[in-house]
Amino acid sequence: MPVDSLRVISDLQALRALTANDDGAQRIAWSPTWLKARAWFQSKNGLPVEHHYDAAGNSWTTLQGDSDRALILGSHLDSVPNGGWLDGCLGVLAAFEILRGLAEDFQNKPPITIRVVDWADEEGARFGRSLFGSSAFGGTHTIEADRNRIDRDGVRLEEALRRCDVEIEGIGKAAAERTNAAAYLELHIEQGPVLEAMHLPLGVVLGTKGVERHAITFHGQEAHSGSTPMAVRRDALAAAAKLALEVRPIARKHPDAVATIGSVKTFPGIVTAVVGRCETTLDMRDLDAGVLASMLTEARAASERFAAEEGCTVDWSKIWSIEPIPFDARLIEFCDEAVRETAGASHRLPSGPLHDAAEVARAGIPTVMMFTQSLAGLSHNKAENTKAEDLSLAVQAFDRLARKTLSWVSTQEGTH
């Protein structure tokens, strides 16, 4: 059955009407609006499938095939506050449409099992713990570090989970869903400007960039801003400002690398005092582990140099890091074929943002992602948008990718 891309777009519009306000999407994980979105998704079912929530709150819709070997399709329904209408939910609704088509084509019994997953709390918008459900699935959850995370209202993550019938102690049991997983495919908006700049509707994702995230504190000397000569100041902000300018050329040495000084706090933080302490954060990303390590080394050296120039000292503290996650070479080829057959041209690019696909790939399951163009490169914003014709092409190409992968997994099954 030809995939019905117009139905996917209609579903996306219906979900927006149900879960957004004038400020954008409000499907924050573990909230009543998120639960409403999930209930709406389940009400669409009407197919001979099995549905359940796993121990981490991930939602699984399964069409049993002749083989237990499973092709998993999915993404996430949750959003950031005031988010866009496509981020995450495009992948879930497109996946369900493909499951529907395969069910019809194979009289409800495809050669392998087809599963649609809606991962729980991909965004981490409320508690700061991104990829919550997929990390539990992949076995990289961090229960002890996460249980006492609190939101801005003082609610603990453990408490919010319990309200949604999830016990944090048991989320590791979600790893059972990896049994018989043969491949994972995810469709997502690009969330960046690359495809639009190239006038391409679709792209093939090579993997997710590794991340080095650090807190950097410059220590100088507080002094009166009116009576302290410029030549003798030990200005911590001046040192931090130099580093903020330096990370840009460090990143620009590498085509796909990015580096961001994302926050700056000064102390005492008043207009009449030289800054004695400046706390900053640095986020660096690249798909090549060697490049990422080199960038970090350069940034450390630069921070020490600038601290010395300003009569300051500097301390580094790691916030978080994750290695680059390359996707499966064979599935990248299938994805490239599907994009070219649908749109006539393709482009391969890394993903700067993290995605659930990275956790699945880390677990050793062959994985690939497909991107569709984002207008003006915007995401996590109510202005997020993609042209209807590009959404249609994305669903069609994702269907082609799913069928190519199904055929490949079926062939593998025949050799077991």
pTM of the predicted model as reported, rounded to 2 decimal places:
0.91
Percentage of the chain with pLDDT > 70?
A: 99
* E strand spans, 119-209: 181-189, 202-208
Sign for the pseudo-dihedral over CA of 225, 227, 230, 232: negative
Residue-wise pLDDT tens digits, 59-113 = 999 999 999 999 999 999 999 999 999 999 999 999 999 999 999 999 999 999 9
pLDDT tens, position by position, 102-156: 999 999 999 999 999 999 999 999 999 999 999 999 999 999 999 999 999 999 9
Q: Which CATH architecture has domain 5-208+324-415?
A: 3-Layer(aba) Sandwich (3.40)
> What residue spans define the domains of the chain?
5-208+324-415, 210-322
Please report the pLDDT score of residue 413 as a whole number. 63
Question: Please, are residues 87 and 122 in contact by the beta-carbon 8 Å criterion?
Answer: no
Q: What is the pLDDT, as a whole number, of residue 267?
A: 98
- The correct answer on CATH 1.10.240.10 for the domain covering 210-322 is no
Could you write out the DSSP letters of every residue in 127-181? TS-TTHHHHHHHT---HHHHTT-B-TTS-BHHHHHHHTT--GGGGGGGGGGGTTE
